[in-house]
Structure 1
């Protein structure tokens, strides 16, 4: 437009000024254009002032201060349409330049967010970076990003820019906050002071409040809301627009996918960590179980196979004064990690009491006293057999707290069940334990102990009585070594069917 004005000035010898009238009393007009180096000569005709109203933009005053080659009014009439069109074109160019600049900023923002989400493992720091960029590009004063945590069932504040006075968590059912309402309803809201709830949440009655749900939409379908992103207040004092909402919704979609990916990664890492911890617990538990074949006081063999990585079955062997041999096998109710903890406590306590107490019954009484509170709090119980073989006296003295599978296998092939003397530990009470004794032929008789998991395995394969099958194998193998007998017992269920059972498998054979 400047070139057009200069052409007119040269053609008509005109002195021209264009101003925007002042709107405040006493204020000076804003000069948009004036002929360079020209002053108004009163001897020349003029001035002529014309009001010009462009299609886009404010009202203008066109002053033709002088003209050498034509009357000022003719110059004004010739310039008016040119100024109107030129000013409109300039405004239009400025508008589209601004729009292009804004779109570029938005595209750059989306690209930057993609980079941030793709390069960070820390969702909290990533969320703060993204929120700050969104706030700056969209001209907001403050912002907050909320993520739903299913464990407490609350919206947790993942990031904020500018303090909005909110707490770190919100109930999704809170009726007084836009954030909770947007999460519940899954729809965006542009609110201002017309909504009282927005005033309370934004903290400034004149502010605009843009709240958009963060949704995760997997390829298989089933979109769900996983959080909310808020922008509070405009730097220019205006309101958020539908275009702002559309951009923030696109950003929220990116964040939703990132939140779900982050959750899946954390879940996977947690499972891997738990698996490593369980493997470590398994290794530690197996190290607590003694290698029966290395027991020097008797010929023995044992095996423990938990149905999970850790379990509640165990056995122990003790060398006692006078050449006596202590033999213990226990089965904690249930299985897995809780029973493994009880098993560890039992083994630790038994290792002390077996050497302190004078009789098997006394050992179980002390175990009951040590474990009763823990068993009661976990609603578990413990079946345990503890026998003391005295090779010199030829006697096996035992206390049996509810353990069903304890047998003496004689050299002539007969078996004798070593029946329970008391209920399981956790039921009987510390004053209830008794003991029994049977004859024992050292070097000939076998002590056979096993837990429910072994016969239960056989029952699942259609054998009517798993215990009978185990005793038949033990009788046939009674002249073999304890380790060979153990192998034969576990070969009864050598396929993988036992792995789906709900109980651990343990067996112990002692020839003392």
Structure 2
């Protein structure tokens, strides 16, 4: 019966062999869990597996040669250590990735804060109000102004696709490029054309939509051009008419040969132009339905009599009562007086 019995307590030789296989499997599993945490599997990984297998075979033979030695606790301990090390490694890795994301967001936030206007332009006869509501801490919306002189103002509202550092860097590039367009700021179509040339080829799979308006209080006109952007709105107080400024060219960036055209309207005291990003019309109202262009027009008409700041706040409050999936930026410029003598700025 000697060949049928292993250690004491009635355990068979076959049972001991099964336990030896468990030990081998545990140690190899420990190696499989630990080694890839420190380096990519390669020739060293095969060497480690071979050595562990060899050590396990030696321990198993020692068990047969020396009664009373049991390698099972060692194998089980190695397995527990490997599993614990794996869990800790993954936790530390998640923490490192989280800190990296937080650092990226903080960097993008600083970039974004540096590109938004510090204040609003002040022109005799024109009241300008702006609101910026990011969906996340780092958004892709952008707006800026060029004060040509005391009677002329150019407004740009843009929406950079994406979020985070890439969108913030593109927005900062857009700010610099827009600020350099003062010589052609009275021509929104030319401004967009030049911005498109600057942005073309500088990034992949991203783009910019934009709306550009130039208000001239001396000529009593507003000129407008768009680049793949939702149509802006012009309120004509004398006729109580809401005009959609739908002139649109291609997106900024992807197409070098894109062209843009101006539309021109007269303005009188009480008229205003509203530029906004698509987050305003894509958000849902209290009924759970997207606001849409017609819904926006209804809200605008219902609040015409309000002061610009109150008007903008009510517009945002009404439009953003439901689910919002994008950033929201809007700029309102209302004409208060016209025909004011104009002196060129320095």
TM-score, structure 2 normalization? 0.73
Higher share in strand? 1
CA-based RMSD: 3.5
Q: Which has the higher contact order (CA 8 A, sep 6+)?
A: 2
TM superposition shift of 1:436: 2.3
CA distance in 2, matches of 1:452, 1:480: 23
Change (3 A) 1:355 1:457: same
Correspondence for 2:217 among 391, 394, 398: 391
Name the structure 2 match of 1:316.
144
Name the structure 2 match of 1:409.
235
Correspondence for 1:420 among 221, 226, 247: 247
TM superposition shift of 1:337: 4.3
Give the ranges of 4+ consecutive aligned residues of structure 1 lying more than 6 Å apart after TM superposition.
none
Correspondence for 1:511 among 319, 334, 340: 334
CA distance in 2, matches of 1:439, 1:346: 29
TM-score, structure 1 normalization? 0.51
Name the structure 1 match of 2:10.
none
**Where do 5+ consecutive residues of structure 1 fail to align?**
1-144, 159-167, 183-187, 195-207, 211-240
Give runs of aligned pairs for residues 134-283 of structure 1, distance below 5 A: 155=36, 158=38, 169-171=40-42, 177=46, 179=48, 189-190=53-54, 243=70, 246-247=73-74, 249-275=76-102, 277-283=104-110
Give runs of aligned pairs for residues 285-304 of structure 1, distance below 5 A: 285-291=112-118, 294-297=120-123, 298-304=126-132
TM superposition shift of 1:509: 0.8
Correspondence for 2:135 among 307, 332, 335: 307
Name the structure 2 match of 1:368.
196
Secondary structure of 1:458's match?
A: coil
CA distance in 1, matches of 2:297, 2:89: 55
Change (3 A) 1:406 1:495: closer
TM superposition shift of 1:317: 1.6
Secondary structure of 1:374's match?
A: coil
The structure number with the bigger radius of gyration is: 1
Name the structure 1 match of 2:263.
436
Give runs of aligned pairs for residues 3-14 of structure 1, distance below 5 A: none
**Contact between 1:290 and 1:316, CA under 8 Å: does it hold in 2?**
yes
CA distance in 1, matches of 2:99, 2:44: 40
Give runs of aligned pairs for residues 109-124 of structure 1, distance below 5 A: none
TM superposition shift of 1:410: 1.5
**Where do 5+ consecutive residues of structure 2 fail to align?**
1-29, 60-67, 336-346
**Contact between 1:311 and 1:337, CA under 8 Å: does it hold in 2?**
no
TM superposition shift of 1:313: 1.2
Count of residues in correspondence between the two structures:
297
Change (3 A) 1:299 1:287: farther
Change (3 A) 1:459 1:491: closer
